[in-house]
Amino acid sequence: MIGALIILHLISAQRAFSAKKVINSPIVNSISTNKNGIIISFSNTSGGFVSNASSSDFMICGKDKKFYPATQILVQKNKITLSSTSVNQPIAVRYGYGNVLNDSILTKNGTVLKPFRTDTFNNISYARWFADSEMKRFPEAWQLDHGKRLYFGYSQGLGSLAMLNMWKQTGDKRYFDYVKNWADTLITEDGKIHEYHVETYNIDYINSGKVLFDVYKQTGESKYKKTMDNLINQMKNHPRTLEGGYWHKLIYQHQIWLDGIYMGSPFLAQYGKEFNQPEWLDEAIHQITLCHSKCYNPETGLYYHAWDESKKQLWANKQTGLSPNFWGRSIGWYFMAVVDALDFIPENHPRRTELIAIVQNLTIAMGKYQSKNGLWFQVVDKPEGKGNYEEASVTSMCMYSIAKAINKGYVDKKYRIISEKAHKGIVNNLLIVSKNGTLTLTKCCAVAGLGGNPYRNGSYEYYIGERIRDNDAKATGPFIMGCIELEK
């Protein structure tokens, strides 16, 4: 049975959730457990409950402090019994917590059972707070990153990946449904993707395919597997450099960008593992290590944004083919790519240690360039440069990458302070609490690239001159994922 302090907290939580004072609203009296699950007894039930509730309205957690949807519910006169196949020894319950209240449990006189929680841990979860803020701002996932049309965009894919991580961390199915609904609006029964043009050989398309692994596992619907196969078929024919590096896009010929390593390599590695095609594991490693060999700068430990094999681009150094600057988000893309790909590389793979070494070296290098505020600058190595600024996406990406690398055992725990400083820096300097209670993440670089029309020359002035906006998914997605890693 939960002690008096928990009950007092529970009652205050019920009151906090109520928009208006409710007289004689049901109040939790006690909680106990038996072999059938967790039993909640109430007072003020006014003759008993009348229920239209489904088990998914309740979340149960065990000793791991992770919440999972209840799978069975029994509503009786003045008590509710719950259980979950995912929780062997339940210790806490949440009802309607973080969800829109649907008034699914009432007393016979019509009084609503208000949302409640019986736990006191994780009182402030920035991961949940920000994920729920994004869902309130953007009710459908295609709207993430300020999307104006239905599109299989890499930014929407990144934001949706963060929502899947929230689902896995909390057990709250709202986050999964948010992603699945997006996938279903884009993908036909034969696996075709809305507004997908394979002939452009755009590696950005591949990123959104990452969310389909979980959706396919949960639903078993073949259309998701067909879509992943179509994306793999693109990569079978994708144009390459002479050493086998994927071009970023057909219009960016002979060019390897750090961004593209994130878009493609983790997907290839996961596909290889999930469908027992190890050649794609090797391909992912090849792309990561080839990019390292071309873009890495040993003097700083940082990576240049891109490399042009032809050396013909105006932004490319005529001797090395490298772009001239260390753009923060491009390094963040690469950092996340290596950390995420390692999820699928077997421990006995002969080249796994190469990837771990890259993660370790990047952790040390980026730590040296972290500002006193815990943030990183748009152009990483020029903090004193005129117009340079502490930027949200590189900070969120590095916070996530380092925290995850520590949790996975790739990096010594002493480096956790880097991620913690980044989190504190974002909260203190870049986050705003809006009047409606949602969080806004500021100082996000909207976009940056090389070449194109109008031509982007990769200069310092170019990077600091790109548009800045709030709540860009390239920052908000990694922020959510980084908070999850720090909250584990």
The distance of Cα 361 from the centroid of its chain, to the nearest Å, equals 23
Residue 451 β-bridge partners: 456
Cα–Cα distance, 285 to 341 (Å, whole number): 8
Give, in order, the Cα–Cα distances in Å from 242 to each of 247, 248, 261, 293, 315: 10, 14, 17, 14, 20
Cα–Cα distance, 338 to 265 (Å, whole number): 8
CB 91 within 8 A of CB 63: yes
Catalytic residue among 259, 308, 340, 472: 259
Type and span of the H or E element at 307: strand 306-308
Query: For residue 384, what are its two tokens?
Result: 């004193």
Query: For residue 155, what are its two tokens?
Result: 């930014």
DSSP tag of 301: T
Under DSSP, is residue 315 helix (H, G, I), strand (E, B) or coil? coil
Cα–Cα distance, 170 to 180 (Å, whole number): 17
Whether the bond between 266 and the residue before it is cis, its omega within 30 degrees of 0, is: no
Long-range (24+ apart) CB contacts under 8 A made by 404-410 are 404/339, 404/481, 404/482, 404/485, 405/339, 405/359, 405/360, 405/363, 407/485, 407/488, 408/339, 408/342, 408/343, 410/339, 410/342, 410/356, 410/359, 410/360
Under DSSP, is residue 343 helix (H, G, I), strand (E, B) or coil? coil
Cα–Cα distance, 147 to 76 (Å, whole number): 46
DSSP tag of 175: H
User: Does residue 259 have an active-site annotation?
Assistant: yes
DSSP characters for 186-203?
Answer: HB-TTS-BTT--GGG--T
Catalytic residue list: 259
